[in-house]
Amino acid sequence: MTDVLDAPTSPLGKPIKRTEDPRFITGEGRYLDDIKLQSMAHMAILRSPYAHANIRSVDVSAARTMPGVLAVFVGADIPYNPLPMAWPAGGSAGIQNNVNTPRILATDSVKWTGEGVAAVVAETEAQAYDALEAIAVDWEPLPAVVDAEKAIAPGATQLHENAPNNVVFEWNVGDKAGTDAAIDGAEVVVRQRIVNQRLIPNPMETRGDIGWYNPGTDEYTIWMSSQTPHIQRLLVGIFTMGIPEHKLRCISPDVGGAFGTKIFCYADMALTLFASKELGGRPVKWVEGRRENYQSTIHGRDHITYLEIAGTRDGEVTGLRVKTLANLGGRLSTIGPGIPTTLYARVLSGCYKIPNVYAEVTGVYTNTTFVDAYRGAGRPEATYVIERAMDLFAAEIGMDRAELRRRNFIPPDQFPYENPSGLGTASGGAKIYIDSGNYEPAMDKALATVGYKDLAAKKAEARGRGKLLGLGLSTYIEVCGVAPSKWIGAVGEGWGAAMWESSNIKVHLTGKVVITMGTQPQGQGHETTYAQVIADQLGIPMDDVIVQHSDTQGTPFGYGSYGSRTSSVGMTAAIKAAEKIKAKAARYAAHMLEANVEDIEIVGAEYRVKGSPDKKKTFQEIAFALDLAFDAPEGMEPYLDETAYYDTPNCTWPFGTHIAVVEIDEETGVVDLVRYVAVDDVGNKINPMIVDGQLHGGIVQGVGQALWEGAVYSDDGQLLSGSMLDYALPKASRLPTLELDETVTPSPVNPLGVKGVGEAGAIASTAAVSNAVIDALSGLGVRHLDMPYTSQKIWSTIQSAKGGQA
Amino acid sequence: MGEHISLTVNGAVRELDVEPRRLLVQAIREDLDLTGTHVGCDTSQCGACTVHVDGKAIKSCTMLAVQADGADVKTIEGMANGDALHPLQTAFWEKHGLQCGFCTPGMIMAAADLLANDADPSDEAIRHAIEGNICRCTGYQNIVIAVRAAAAAMRDGAGAPAGA
């Protein structure tokens, strides 16, 4: 076996400036709307003003005569299937999914405000929007329902014939009998209804597509702001339009943020391709407006949960029973049902050793925008449930919140750990377990940093200033690096597809390296971190490596970037490709040096004969010789070009403790986040600067949910928080400097020992801030309060608690 | 079609015929092909379209192109001087003040306006100055650090490139 020694210098693990940044800081990034193609036409989509209505007729005759209009389409014109739904709720016998997905344009009825009804293609964008106003739809408005509890109540308006009582699915996981017995026999049981409100994800770049049909080759190309160009060949191409993969090329240009929203298959993708074909091959561009984004791109969260947590009076938690209603919108998005089931209920017990866990989840149709994966996707909701539950239980038995957590942590000697809410019992026989963890050191570090032992004095000091100070803990874990195909692809549990990744490495004649992969960045810095990993592997400078991605022509197939999976799954594929490159280079070095391959040792970029330090070839010399191939030995192919595919044996499990400190102004109800301490264990770090940046952004998105954000519908289904003017996003002036620290427990699952960090901040922070606000109000007798904690809500709560008029 | 306007953009005089309803950001992006200025919303909230008009940072979605007739406009493409980056561009790169990059041009233009008026801003002043610019990736932390670093570099003589 060839020995591989450490490279003398390596960029791995260093805070290297990002290689993608020069184009972004100079305005030379190339996002979807920056692309102009020859003869390109523009599309606008007419969207339903009603949340629930039948379409009696659509008259487009006037619109067709408007200046610049090239074509007008209605639902009946589109010959394609409804959009695919790729992740039904499953895993147990007899789970039925009552599936209804959007059509490309609605034909008979609409189920939410914003569902597409007609489309205009014109010479200019302005002409397309002008013509929308000339379309006359004869509507038959119907009663609407926007709340999941009301939607399943008797007498509610019914959205779909195949979904009685508006139920998408009824799903459960865990040991019902055991959990019932544990709760029935417990010394202490705490019950609480909690709401995880609906969020609008808001990547700064909205979505958009340019569809192009080439009549000369009968092939299609789509540029789209997407996290998943490869799987869109399946979702848009074969499943929706009936175009096989080899006839559809998908390209994601620079993507201006995504946070889950750009994983999915949307109707506009097929619509631009259809329109281009109808126009004989003119490219057709559609760019989503922000208000349109609020209605036609997925929302996140929206759970109503009834939790019960049981245990002993001295702080042993023995049971957790949860019933959740998941509002999935008017029709299903691509993996909507998978989020509140597999990615939520299966991790409800968090980092605690709770012997009895049982959850029932009901997916519900309402007259709202569809709900799917938003940063964290199920795990923020699970963390919110368990971390609120732990605080409620601690308050009930009068135990310190940190001590209760410490008492119930999964001990470090019990990994790998199979949790009782069903990860280990996934169908297909695959064992999914929590790979590693050591939770107390992270919590202790965070407690020390924030000065937890002085909390009472801090509260008293704040009280003197007219402020209510509160501190909140969130000791989270999350499941990252999704996922083993045999688990996620098992019939009835996941995508109904695999989740492996791939990478190709080509070494040119000069020794310069091109790496391509199936993952797709949206701001995470993959061009830098892949180069760090591969430069380290091959012992070459980062400048000699270029990273290319996001075009199905020229990159190997991959499932895309989401679920914090790129570093653990995608980069392991890249390492495997590099290992193949090194193995072939070593074989050729042995040939050049007239040695046995077993005697070649690799030191950085040098391939040496053991014991003869002068006998060596550099990586670049080998690449040159193998490219020319004058002297290749019998049976060896020329050129260094290797592809590897990697299916992870398990997920990865980051953890940590986040602590928020808030001060509430008693007079105004304004909540100030005054400190935020985060100790995260994401395993080894490829680039600690990028890791910190991911945590910052994730934390602030979670803070946004706790304090400001929330989608608001009127009872008749109008989205009242329908623009950036009405939906409160985090602003710089409302945030403190975040204080980050770490523990490092390398993941045993992959060779880098990484776990993934894209979602950790958002998973942890909402619960930390929520627990802090409720702690601040606890002196007034407040036990729980649903988010977001707007000043109006807090002021009213304080006034009510004091017996005043709220 | 429409109105004839003449404006100076990044130092060059540009003549355009625009519809009266054309926004300045549309003229910059569509007519002048300067696509570094982005559109992130439709209600003047996000600040991705921030440019300088006559030396002041404005949201170019909030101004009609015809209103910019005769004005001096600077966009992100005009911030560097050849290969010499503006200190803000350097600082955003070095301090990891961007992730997806979509808000970055507007953020840099807003910060440049601040630094033109306050050479040594406090963190509070920086956070207030970028109140009208939304970033969904960074949590603002490294943006604040980058603006502070750029201010220090400019005070130490790493002056803005000519004309900035």
Amino acid at A701: Q
The answer, yes or no, to whether the previous bond of A633 is cis (omega within 30 of 0) is no
Nearest Cβ partner of A291 from B39, B42, B137?
B42
Q: In what order do the strands lie in the sheet with A600-603?
A: A3-5, A600-603, A606-609, A612-618
| B39 lies within 8 A of chain A by CB | yes
Q: Is A566 helix (H, G, I), strand (E, B) or coil?
A: helix
**Cα–Cα dist A465/A454, whole Å:** 17
Segment (H or E) for B13: strand B12-18
Domains in chain A, ordered, with CATH? 3-28+500-646 (3.30.365.10), 32-142+207-287 (3.90.1170.50), 300-484+650-801 (3.30.365.10)
| B143 lies within 8 A of chain A by CB | yes
**Cα–Cα dist A593/B148, whole Å:** 55
Provide the pLDDT confidence category of residue B123 given band limits of 50, 70 and 90: very high
Provide the pLDDT confidence category of residue B164 given band limits of 50, 70 and 90: very low
How far, CA to CA in Å, does A201 sit from each of A88, A146, A462, A560, B49?
23, 19, 34, 19, 20
Residues of chain B with Cβ-Cβ distance to A699 below 8 Å are: 139
Q: Does residue B75 carry a pLDDT above 50?
A: yes
Amino acid at A105: L
The boundaries of the domain holding residue B142 are: 87-155
How far, CA to CA in Å, does A601 sit from each of A1, A337, A605, A612, A702?
9, 51, 10, 11, 49
Question: Which chain A residues in 191-250 lie under 8 Å from chain B, judged by CB atoms?
Answer: 202-206
pLDDT score of A93? 60
B35 and B58 both lie in a single domain: yes
B141 to A26: CB separation less than 8 angstroms, yes or no: no
How far, CA to CA in Å, does A306 sit from each of A195, A357, B153?
9, 14, 55
pLDDT score of A91? 61
In this prediction the ipTM stands at: 0.97
Question: Which chain A residues in 281-340 lie under 8 Å from chain B, judged by CB atoms?
Answer: 289-291
B85 to A738: CB separation less than 8 angstroms, yes or no: no
Q: Is residue B132 part of a domain?
A: yes
Question: Nearest-CA distance from B68 to chain A in Å?
Answer: 20
Residue from B102, B107, B127, B135 whose CB has the most chain A CBs within 10 Å, to mutate = B102
Q: Does residue A1 carry a pLDDT above 50?
A: no
Section A26-51 average pLDDT: 98
Cα B85 off chain centre by: 14
Better pLDDT: A804 or A344: A344
B8 and B73 both lie in a single domain: yes
B64 and B99 both lie in a single domain: no
pLDDT score of A428? 54
B74 and B7 both lie in a single domain: yes
A202 to B38: CB separation less than 8 angstroms, yes or no: no
Looking at every residue in chain A, the average pLDDT score rounds to 95
Q: pLDDT tens for residues A718-735?
A: 999 999 999 999 999 999
Q: Is residue B115 part of a domain?
A: yes
Provide the pLDDT confidence category of residue A435 given band limits of 50, 70 and 90: confident
B131 to A732: CB separation less than 8 angstroms, yes or no: yes
| B79 lies within 8 A of chain A by CB | yes
Residues of chain B with Cβ-Cβ distance to A257 below 8 Å are: 99-100, 102, 136-137
| B127 lies within 8 A of chain A by CB | yes
Nearest Cβ partner of A733 from B35, B99, B127?
B127
Q: pLDDT tens for residues A533-578?
A: 999 999 999 999 999 999 999 999 999 898 889 999 999 999 999 9
Q: What percent of chain A stands above pLDDT 70?
A: 96
Q: In what order do the strands lie in the sheet with A655-665?
A: A467-477, A655-665, A671-681, A739-742
Section A460-469 average pLDDT: 97
Q: Is residue B119 part of a domain?
A: yes
Provide the pLDDT confidence category of residue B162 given band limits of 50, 70 and 90: very low
Return the residue of A nearest to B122 by Cα. A733
B91 and B65 both lie in a single domain: no
Token digits of residue A78:
């589109």
Q: In what order do the strands lie in the sheet with A545-548?
A: A545-548, A513-517, A501-507, A640-646
B70 and B117 both lie in a single domain: no
pLDDT score of B163? 43
- Of B33, B57, B78, the last residue of a domain is B78
Q: pLDDT tens for residues A692-717?
A: 999 999 999 999 999 999 999 999 99
Q: In this structure, what DSSP letter does residue A754 have?
A: B
pLDDT score of A327? 98
Question: Nearest-CA distance from A330 to chain B in Å?
Answer: 25
Q: Is residue B16 part of a domain?
A: yes
Better pLDDT: A632 or A106: A106
Question: Which chain A residues in 753-792 lie under 8 Å from chain B, judged by CB atoms?
Answer: 761
Residues of chain A with Cβ-Cβ distance to B91 below 8 Å are: none
Angle at A421 between CA A415 and CA A425, to 5 degrees: 80
Segment (H or E) for A463: helix A455-464
Q: Does residue A101 carry a pLDDT above 80?
A: yes
Token digits of residue A747:
């993941």
Provide the pLDDT confidence category of residue A777 given band limits of 50, 70 and 90: very high
pLDDT score of A483? 85
A27 to B135: CB separation less than 8 angstroms, yes or no: no
- Of B59, B78, B97, the last residue of a domain is B78
B23 and B46 both lie in a single domain: yes
Q: Is residue B55 part of a domain?
A: yes
| A751 lies within 8 A of chain B by CB | no
Q: pLDDT tens for residues A601-656?
A: 999 999 999 999 899 999 999 999 999 999 888 899 999 999 999 999 899 999 99
Question: Which chain A residues in 710-729 lie under 8 Å from chain B, judged by CB atoms?
Answer: 723-725, 729
B43 and B101 both lie in a single domain: no
| B83 lies within 8 A of chain A by CB | no
CATH number at residue B10: 3.10.20.30
Q: pLDDT tens for residues A644-688?
A: 999 998 999 999 999 999 999 999 999 999 999 999 999 999 999
Q: At what angle do helices A379-397 and A401-408 cross, to 10 degrees?
A: 110
Residues of chain A with Cβ-Cβ distance to B39 below 8 Å are: 33
B72 and B10 both lie in a single domain: yes
Q: What is the DSSP string of A108-168?
A: SEE-STT-EEEEEEESSHHHHHHHHTT-EEEEEE------HHHHTSTTPPP--TTSGGGEE
B7 and B68 both lie in a single domain: yes
B35 and B64 both lie in a single domain: yes
Looking at every residue in chain B, the average pLDDT score rounds to 95
CATH number at residue B130: 1.10.150.120
Q: Is residue B69 part of a domain?
A: yes
pLDDT score of A482? 86
Q: Does residue A429 carry a pLDDT above 90?
A: no
B11 and B60 both lie in a single domain: yes
| A525 lies within 8 A of chain B by CB | yes
pLDDT score of A90? 80
| B121 lies within 8 A of chain A by CB | no
Residues of chain B with Cβ-Cβ distance to A696 below 8 Å are: 138-142
Q: Is residue B163 part of a domain?
A: no
Q: pLDDT tens for residues B82-110?
A: 999 999 999 999 999 999 999 999 999 99
Question: Which chain A residues in 351-390 lie under 8 Å from chain B, judged by CB atoms?
Answer: none
- Give how many domains chain B has, as a whole number: 2
Q: pLDDT tens for residues A147-160?
A: 999 999 999 999 99
- Of B32, B56, B78, the last residue of a domain is B78
pLDDT score of A644? 98
Q: The dihedral of CA A754, A759, A762, A764: what is its sign?
A: negative
Question: Nearest-CA distance from B160 to chain A in Å?
Answer: 14
**Cα–Cα dist A706/A790, whole Å:** 9
Question: Nearest-CA distance from B6 to chain A in Å?
Answer: 23
Residue pairs between chains A and B whose CB atoms are closer than 8 Å:
175
Q: Is residue B53 part of a domain?
A: yes
| A689 lies within 8 A of chain B by CB | yes
| A257 lies within 8 A of chain B by CB | yes
Q: pLDDT tens for residues A254-266?
A: 999 999 999 999 9
Q: Does residue A372 carry a pLDDT above 60?
A: yes
pLDDT score of A804? 65
Q: Does residue A9 carry a pLDDT above 70?
A: yes
Question: Nearest-CA distance from B70 to chain A in Å?
Answer: 24
